[in-house]
Structures are given as structure tokens and as C-alpha cells.
Amino acid sequence: MCLAVPALITAIDPVTDMASVALGAVTKEVSLALVEGAAVGDYVLVHVGYALGRISPEEAERTLALIAAAGGAEVDVNSPARGVEVDVSSPAGA
């Protein structure tokens, strides 16, 4: 099963088409090669190092809340990024 997680774009390097995104307290570099017109402050769905598409802040919050309700993450609504902390302590499929 694959999972794309909403993340907030915090910086963009137009030369490399890479973005820094916030996933809760975690920051990650992702490729924007598949997303046109992305800007700092946009939410994108991130999967294996690529932003797959933009989503609205409302959709990002709904998705993060669903992930949290499923027990896979904790949503920090006080974070400026309103990101997600994914629980990777148990092996996949456990």
C-alpha cells in the first residue's frame, strides 16, 4: 500500500525544482517536477520524495485528521505547518 502525506512548502529552489516541506517537526526535501505552479505556503501531497499535487489547506487538515484517527500519526494543530508526525515505531504490517 502507498501513502501520500500532506506537507507544507516552506521554501523552493527554482534552480533545482526542489522544495523544503514541513511534516510536523520534520523537514524534507522533495522534487516539484510533477507539480506546476507550486508556491511557498502551498500544501502538497508527498510520496517517496516527490510532490504529487497541490491540495487546499482544508483538504490537508481533513487528511491529517483521518491519518491521526487511524492511529498512524499525531496532528499538531498548533504547529505553523500543521504537519504530521508519523509513528514508525512498529514494523509495516504489524
pLDDT tens digits for range 16-44: 999 999 988 899 999 999 999 999 999 99
Report in angstroms the alpha-carbon separations of 86 from 14, 16, 35, 39.
28, 27, 24, 24
Q: How many domains does the chain have?
A: 1
Q: Which of 9, 4, 1, 21 is nearest to 67 (CA)?
A: 4
The pLDDT, as a whole number, for residue 52 is: 97
Q: What is the pLDDT of residue 85?
A: 41
Distance CA 34, CA 67 (A): 24
Residue 38, domain CATH: 2.30.30.140
Q: What is the phi-psi region of residue 17: left when phi exceeds 0, alpha when psi lies from -120 to 50, beta otherwise?
A: left
> What DSSP state is assigned to residue 83?
-
Q: Supply the range of the domain harboring residue 66.
A: 5-86
* Predicted structure pTM score: 0.74
**What pLDDT digit, counting tens, does each position of 38-94 carry?**
999 999 999 999 999 999 999 999 998 888 888 865 555 445 444 444 443 333 433
Res 81: pLDDT: 46
> Does 91 reside within a domain?
no
